Amino acid sequence: MPIDDQNIDKLFQENLKGFKEKPPGYAWDKIKEDLALKRKNRRLMLFRWSAAAAAIFIAFLTGYYFASLNLNNEPPAPQRQEMTAIHENNANKTVEKKQVSVQTFTDYSEEKITDPAPSIVTSEKMFFDEPSRSPGDEAIAINESSLPVVTSDDEVIAINVLLPVVTPDEKELELTKKKPVLSEPIKTLTDKPVIQPNQFVPSGDEVLAFDADWVIPKTEKKLLKWTVGGKFAPVYAYRTISIKKEDLPATIIPDESYYNNLENEIYSFSGGVDLKYHIKKKLSFQTGLFYSKLGQVNNDVVAYRYPDDKYEYVIPTSVGPIDINSEKIPKELADSDIREDSTGNILYFNADIYQNFEYIEVPLLINYKIIDKRFGVQLAGGLSPGFMVNNNAYFQVDKQEIMIDRSEEFYTVIYNSIVGLGLNYAVSKKLNFSLSPTFKYSLRSIRKDHSIEYYPYSFSIYTGISYSF
């Protein structure tokens, strides 16, 4: 069958339709190597970019660090100038002088200026090739290795050396930056040295023997000097008596038990303001102004008639006798149950007699704190002079008061001894709530020239609020 040259493509297409040639075995290996190489190249490229970014970042941080370090260590206003001759006579130390010849030049290779510049002379010893210097030395230490020197043909090429001049103020500022400074003195109970304010604490190679006995005390709270407050208390008031049995008048019954059986205590109140000055943390002085009421009550009132007057009666009390005229007894009292004995010499009153003594007191106390915490306990003791402002006596019938005229003489001032226990609770740093049981006893009888010595006493529980400043 003749072959049509024009349809050769068609011939191959028809005969090779569905033919698939198997690739050689090494072909897949080559493809795998190419794919692995591409992945390796990508990883290598990624690593290079990461390394470059890290290097840039580290370089930035390093530059920023050194820039900050130089900025912190550099004096605020450096001044650079050519060193000139400084001549000072110091009587306290020997000055060793050295000269350094300095020449200026404009070109290293062509032209040399041989005229020497002025010599550099320091007022202190110049240190060469020494690893350290004394901290107190004021000289500018120049190390020979830091001085640039160029030699050629055994000739020294002159170099214009510009050295910074550091003033004493700048040097002190530089030391202040590098060494901690104390803002307050360190107090110590020992005989060791005390670090004063603004004194440099040694560090580094200049460390002194820092004694372990130096004590840094705890910061104590500021002592508030004054405290002002108000107090109020219920009062239990009564008395003790002593009878002088020599030459007793007819109106005095010479038996203490008689008065003790017929008389009883009274309940009143007291209150006022106090002012306290803190001498030390636990010790304080207290004063103030307080009102108090003392006295007694006669529950079974018995009146005895005077022998020479059938209308005049006397009611004996431990404070003093009370005279009663039977014809002048008030109607309200007369309507009460008044009984007369068979002899007509004794009257029994169905009423009570109250006798009150009112005082303004000025306490003078010393307080000592036993416990000084949020809940505190303190003891108080001292004197409390009392100035009498009023005294009265009255019958009380069915809660009605009938006043009684009396002419007894009383001392206008009494002196009370006082002891107390203070329980304090700190509501805040300056505000305190207190509860103070207090006992007072008069050191002086309240009656003048009387056969019965009368000493009032009282027990009270003060509650109050105080403010410290």
Is residue 70 predicted with pLDDT exceeding 80? no
Give the model confidence (pLDDT) of 20-46 as tens digits: 666 666 666 677 677 666 666 767 777
For the entire predicted model, the pTM comes to: 0.55
SS3 of residue 75 by DSSP: coil
Give the model confidence (pLDDT) of 241-271 as tens digits: 999 888 788 889 999 999 999 999 999 999 9
Please enumerate in sequence order all residues whose Cβ is within 8 A of that of 458, keeping only pairs 6 or more positions apart, or say none.
235, 236, 237, 238, 270, 292, 294, 439, 440
Give the model confidence (pLDDT) of 193-227 as tens digits: 555 555 555 554 444 444 444 445 555 567 889 99
Mean pLDDT rounded to a whole number for the chain? 74
Task: Using a pLDDT cut of 70, give the percent of the chain over it.
Answer: 60
Q: What long-range pairs does 367-375 form, CB within 8 A, spacing at least 24?
A: 367/276, 367/283, 367/284, 367/285, 367/286, 367/422, 368/282, 368/283, 369/281, 369/282, 369/283, 372/281, 372/282, 374/425, 374/426, 375/423, 375/424, 375/425, 375/426
Is residue 236 predicted with pLDDT exceeding 50? yes
Q: Which two tokens stand for residue 440?
A: 């007072």
Lowest mean pLDDT across 50-59, 309-318, 356-365, 389-398? 50-59
pLDDT band at 172 (very low <50, low <70, confident <90, very high): low
pLDDT at 217: 52
Is residue 111 predicted with pLDDT exceeding 90? no
Distances (CA, A) of 141 to 101, 137, 206: 17, 9, 17
pLDDT at 167: 62
How are beta strands 338-340 and 346-349 bridged, if at all? antiparallel
Element (H, E) at 29: helix 25-73
Query: Average of pLDDT values for 372-378?
Result: 94
Task: Using a pLDDT cut of 90, give the percent of the chain over it.
Answer: 39
Query: How far is Cα 187 from Cα 185, in angstroms, rounded to an integer?
Result: 6
Query: Average of pLDDT values for 80-98?
Result: 43
Q: Which segment, 123-137, 165-179, 392-406, is predicted with the most confidence on average?
A: 392-406
Q: Which among 323, 301, 327 has a CA at the least distance from the CA of 395?
A: 301
pLDDT at 245: 84
Give the model confidence (pLDDT) of 317-357 as tens digits: 999 999 988 888 888 888 877 888 888 889 999 899 999 99
Bridge partners (DSSP) listed for residue 156 = 151
Query: Average of pLDDT values for 137-157?
Result: 44
pLDDT band at 114 (very low <50, low <70, confident <90, very high): very low
pLDDT at 4: 56
Q: Which among 390, 414, 393 has a CA at the least distance from the CA of 403?
A: 393
pLDDT at 120: 45
Give the model confidence (pLDDT) of 275-307 as tens digits: 999 999 999 999 999 999 999 999 989 999 988
Query: Average of pLDDT values for 159-163?
Result: 44
Is residue 96 predicted with pLDDT exceeding 80? no
pLDDT at 246: 82
Query: How far is Cα 423 from Cα 435, in angstroms, rounded to an integer?
Result: 5
Q: Which among 246, 292, 293 has a CA at the least distance from the CA of 453?
A: 246
Query: How far is Cα 11 from Cα 461, in angstroms, rounded to an integer?
Result: 132
Instruction: Please report the domains of the chain, with CATH numbers, ordered by start residue.
Output: 78-177 (no CATH), 179-219 (no CATH), 226-468 (2.40.160.20)
pLDDT at 22: 65
